Amino acid sequence: MSIPADSSRTNAIDWNEASKTFDRWLPYIQPVAEALLSLADLSEGHEILDVASGTGEPSLTIARRFGSTLQITAVDGAEAMVAIANEKLRREGLSGVTFQQMKAEALAFPSNQFDRVISRFGVMLFDDSLLGLKEMRRVLKEGGTLAISVWGEFHRIQSIHLIWELIMKRLPLKERPSLPKMADLGHTGKLEALLQSAGFRQFQIRPLPLLYRFDDFETYWTITTESGTLREPLDRFTPAEQEEIKEEALQCISSFVREGKIIMENQALLANAVK
């Protein structure tokens, strides 16, 4: 096992690096974009802010559907993510949307500017989720709607949790990283408390089960481990040890096979709130 010099570091994700392969996930999480659009109840004329827009979603879905009848401003902290989103914009010739690099914790917009503020799988990843959410509330108009998604409890994110557990079993207790940031707001009551602390008084939270279908084990392994949450913990091991972990995952996967496909359930949480 090759423990990094700084073994205390947590499983931080390099989003510029992750941008290279991030789009592989888009088909799996498109149902969340649809759910957010419906929660946000968009109308022509709306001014929308999409925070942590990554390689462009859900902004691009909105722009394809509404064109320039509404105005979308999308921001993300990672330069490479913004570059990919802008490239898609140029390629598709879409209008009504702009992408720029900006941290959620310091939104460079006046208070009360946007009719809707949305974010798909961003808030739990901010360096400071509370500050980011307070900023999102600040720029929302009175009576405007916030619509966000985060991941549910970690054990309910089956496709990541399975491999994570195999990795953790091999690490001595004191070298195990804390639970991945992606699941930070999944625990019952955490998102609710955060929304309250950010100043929201009226909100609803509901789970959304997402079924991920993988054609075969190789596809599952590649998509799940090439970047993101599992990459850093896996890189603590030698290539030979990583192969052993992969073999163990293959042994476990049979319980998820239905009609020749690997089917795993990952739970998202959807929240909508009014300012």
Ligand X SMILES: C[S@@+](CC[C@H](N)C(=O)[O-])C[C@H]1O[C@@H](n2cnc3c(N)ncnc32)[C@H](O)[C@@H]1O
Q: Find the part of the chain contacting ligand X (CB under 6 A) among 63-71, 103-111, 134-142, 260-268.
A: 103-111
Site for ligand X in 160-179 (CB under 6 A): none
Q: Any alpha helices (H) in 147-189, and if so which ranges?
A: 158-170
Does position 154 bind ligand X by CB under 6 A?
no
- Here's the x/- map for ligand X, 191-230, by CB under 6 A: it reads as ----------------------------------------
CA 59 – CA 72 distance, rounded (Å): 7
Per CB under 6 A, does 60 bind ligand X?
Answer: no
Q: Among 78, 117, 124, 146, which residue sits at the site for ligand X (rule: CB under 6 A)?
A: 78
Q: In the complex, which residue's CB is closest to ligand X?
A: 54
Q: Closer CB to ligand X, residue 70 or residue 82?
A: 82
Between CA 255 and CA 52 the distance in angstroms is: 35
- 3-class SS at 28? helix
Q: Does 150 bind ligand X (CB under 6 A)?
A: no
Contact 15, 78 (CB under 8 A): yes
Is the CB of residue 129 less than 8 Å from the CB of residue 123?
Answer: yes
Buried/exposed 71-98: b ≥16 CB within 10 Å, e otherwise: bbbbbbbbebbbebbbebbeeeebebbe
Token look-up 């946007």 returns 114
> 107-146: which residues touch ligand X (CB under 6 A)?
120-122, 125-127, 132
Total residues at the site for ligand X (CB under 6 A)?
A: 20
Q: Which stretch binds ligand X (CB under 6 A): 47-55, 139-147, 205-213, 234-242?
A: 47-55
Binding positions for ligand X, 26-45, rule CB under 6 A: 29
User: Residue 29 or 171: which CB sits closer to ligand X?
Assistant: 29
User: Helix, strand or coil for residue 61?
Assistant: helix
User: CB of residue 270 vs ligand X: minimum separation in angstroms?
Assistant: 13
Q: By CB neighbour count within 10 A (0-12 exposed, 13-18 middle, 19+ buried), where does 17 fall?
A: middle
Q: Encoding tokens for residue 185?
A: 């707001």
What are the residues whose beta carbons fall under 8 Å from the beta carbon of 155, sequence distance 6 or more?
161
Q: Which is nearer to ligand X, 92 or 127 (CB)?
A: 127
List of residues contacting ligand X (CB under 6 A): 15, 29, 52-54, 57, 76-78, 81, 103-105, 120-122, 125-127, 132
